[in-house]
Structure 1
Amino acid sequence: MTLGRSCIRLCVIAVAMQASSAFAEVFQFPALHASQPADPEQALLTDYNQVAVIYGSADIGAFSPAIEAFQQNNPQVGIEYHQLQTLEMYDMTIKERASGAANADLIISSSMDLQMKLANDGYAIAHQSTQTDALPNWARWRNEAFAVTQEPAVIAYNREFFRENELEPPRTREAFLELLRANDDLLSEKVTTYDIERSGVGFLFLARDERFFPGIWDFIRQLGQSKVKLYSNTSPMLEKIADGQVVLGYNLLGSYAETFSHRTPNLGVILPDDFIVVYSRIAIIPRGARNPNLGARFLDYMLSIEGQTVLQDAGNFNPVRADVPQSPFSSLIFDRYGERVRSFPVGPGLLVYLDQAKRQRFIRRWQDALLNRR
């Protein structure tokens, strides 16, 4: 079922929340079948007509098929999905716990480092099941933090612009740099990437680039000279590339880019030939969850073969489990480019990206490089 059809059935509502999350949206997915057990006391002990509250950073258009598929298997469970920026999600979780307010039942964030900090600092409860046991070792930590997707950073470009200007889209970072140098006037104000001060995943992608691409700071200086446009979300970058407001994007989220390209043929998507940075969305069940059993049930569905397949087929969220049949996009990444994949294992190693002194030095260097303009 598409999101458009869901809007009619589910009465999806966008609302402004408290000041700390003024840009959040809440989407309501009522239970498909309201029912009551014969014994009224049993209703208090079961999940009849309960609502699972999920905080997530994934766009509702990409994530709603997983919610709808879950409800087909759990028709008496409603879903309340809060679409949030990752830092908002992190701050809300801490503030809710400090005030004694109930947390969400499940938190799914693209900021691996922030999720890992929540788990490491005691904000997650353990959950073990046949589905979590099916994950590879790198994808879970202490049965408290779980990778649910694998998503690459890609290059995106406007096919018409490159064709009309007889340009070859870049397939490596070095080629990207040389393209900008050789076409400085033509591409000025026509390139986009993440604002790493506002985007957690953008920061992670660039930090990984620094480790594996020796020319990264020359690359960033050239982006600055080309007057790069910075955004905190992937979707507006893809839209602007497709309609020609900008024509080239770096380190964009591959799951969204691949989905967008299917309905917008003018958007080209490239997996870099030199290496591919792959990150994962991490899910935790917060210690103050309203209904942790519902959070665990939704988590288990996402990690099941069926759930992983839905995530892959509907949103190009590549599966974590090895026993899920791969889509052509997923197979291309992990079979053809396998040795060139640079991923992030789930574990305390992610906390290095939150070391405030190191983070500030990295951001200052990024700022200095970008400001080196003509």
Structure 2
Amino acid sequence: MNRLSRLACRWLLPLGLVGAPAGADETLHYAATTDIGPTSQLVVHGALDLPQMRPLLEDFHHKNPDLEVRYRNLTTLALHERFLVEPDEADVLLSSAMPWQYRLANEGHARSLESPDARRWPAWARWRHELFAFTFEPIVMVVNETVIERFGEVRGHADLLALLERHAAALQGQVVTYDPATSGAGYTYAIEESRLSPRYWDLVAALGKAEADLVDTTGEMLEGLIEGRYQVGYNLLGSYARDRLADQPQLRIVVPEDYALVTQRLALIPRQAPHPAAAERFLDYLIGEPGQAVLARETTLGAIHPALEGPGTATSLRQERGEALRPITLGPGLLATLDDLKREALLTRWQREFSRSEQR
């Protein structure tokens, strides 16, 4: 079976069913530690790895010792499907799968949070008072320094396109990106970029010319880059890249100068949450200044709170990058990514452009 045939077969797989990251369905547990008054529970389901979630939960539990806190880490698809089967199991859902979270809220599955912090939350980072973005995570490129030394700087999409068009032979099989057919994140980024850039399809064709590997998670890309199997990675989740590559000086993280998509993790309280008061306390913490300060200081997720400045904040990144940052809009347009006909049309063109060189 040639590469084009294998690629066509992958397009038959359901979106999101491939490539679950290592460590999915891990848990954290914090017992109630107070002897004063009654205790309650908080159950959080999130598509957020334990190293990133632990500082937030430890600080929240320290401030709320009367709560027994349980956290379950799931893949985005598993989280969504589990909620549909058991909508009264979790008190809070956290996910980077923006279209799926938006659809849940849009279909009436989310409670409204009417606290002062919720009312002050930036309008661009919430939908009504039911869905709240709490991170600010640019989508980045990663380039090995040897590529830069040999072929020149890569600062944006135009540089990457020129690199792949001019040096495809030298980079054969050493480039990696998401497979939009099997990765929800990859598909979302493909839709957004096809709207943003008139040269997006040229870039897809150039990726195909370089015989780029198509994978399902940022983790797979980072592993291959660290091991030296890949020299260039395209459209990685910047928060995970910064965390994993802190001790890899040979790999440069590039926030594209021309435009950089920004994804946000979305939090909601299910309408049937078993412990709604505890859920409101946690979501208030998550979007309040204390929780956002922990997020900025102890994680690589990027804090949104407008009162926070300095490293690890959206304010700092906006000051540095300006209009090049393009947060994915939290609104009805997200539902287009879940439309079967639109998905089929985009993936058919993606496959055609990616395989263009083999068809000649």
User: Which interval holds the TM-score relative to the shorter structure?
Assistant: 0.7 to 0.9
Structure 1 partner of 2:307: 323
Q: Distance in 2 between matches of 1:78 and 1:226?
A: 52
What does 1:213-232 correspond to in 2, within 5 Å? 213-232=197-216
CA RMSD of aligned residues (A): 2.3
Deviation at 1:361, TM superposition (A): 0.9
One-letter amino acid of the structure 2 residue matched with residue 62 of structure 1 = Q
Q: Does 1:148 align with 2:134?
A: yes
Q: Distance in 1 between matches of 2:310 and 2:120?
A: 16
SS state at 1:345 partner: coil
Q: Distance in 2 between matches of 1:154 and 1:325?
A: 22
Per the normalisation by structure 1, the TM-score is 0.84
SS state at 1:336 partner: helix
What does 1:256-295 correspond to in 2, within 5 Å? 256-295=240-279
Q: Distance in 1 between matches of 2:21 and 2:193?
A: 30
One-letter amino acid of the structure 2 residue matched with residue 145 of structure 1 = L
Q: Distance in 1 between matches of 2:188 and 2:339?
A: 13
What does 1:195-206 correspond to in 2, within 5 Å? 195-206=179-190
Q: Distance in 2 between matches of 1:247 and 1:365?
A: 26
What does 1:171-186 correspond to in 2, within 5 Å? 171-186=155-170
Is the 2:140–2:238 Cα contact (8 Å) retained in structure 1? yes
Deviation at 1:28, TM superposition (A): 2.2
Structure 2 partner of 1:208: 192
SS state at 2:86 partner: helix
1:69 to 59, 68, 91: 59
Deviation at 1:86, TM superposition (A): 1.4
Structure 1: gaps (5+ residues): 1-19, 38-42
CA shift digits 1:115-148 (9 cap, x unpaired): 0000001111111112212211111222111111
Is the 1:192–1:249 Cα contact (8 Å) retained in structure 2? yes
One-letter amino acid of the structure 2 residue matched with residue 94 of structure 1 = L
Q: Distance in 2 between matches of 1:332 and 1:245?
A: 33
Structure 2 partner of 1:83: 73
Is the 1:107–1:283 Cα contact (8 Å) retained in structure 2? yes
Deviation at 1:313, TM superposition (A): 2.0
SS state at 2:169 partner: helix
1:108 to 65, 77, 94: 94
Is the 2:208–2:355 Cα contact (8 Å) retained in structure 1? yes
Q: Distance in 2 between matches of 1:296 and 1:332?
A: 28
1:162 to 131, 144, 147: 147
One-letter amino acid of the structure 2 residue matched with residue 31 of structure 1 = A
Deviation at 1:270, TM superposition (A): 0.7
SS state at 2:150 partner: coil
Judge which range, 208-217 or 257-266, deviates more.
257-266
SS state at 2:244 partner: helix
CA shift digits 1:154-188 (9 cap, x unpaired): 111223x326x623242111210111122212211
CA shift digits 1:239-297 (9 cap, x unpaired): 22122111111111111112223233232111101111112111111122221222221
Structure 2: gaps (5+ residues): 1-19
Q: Give the number of aligned pairs.
A: 339
Is the 1:145–1:346 Cα contact (8 Å) retained in structure 2? no
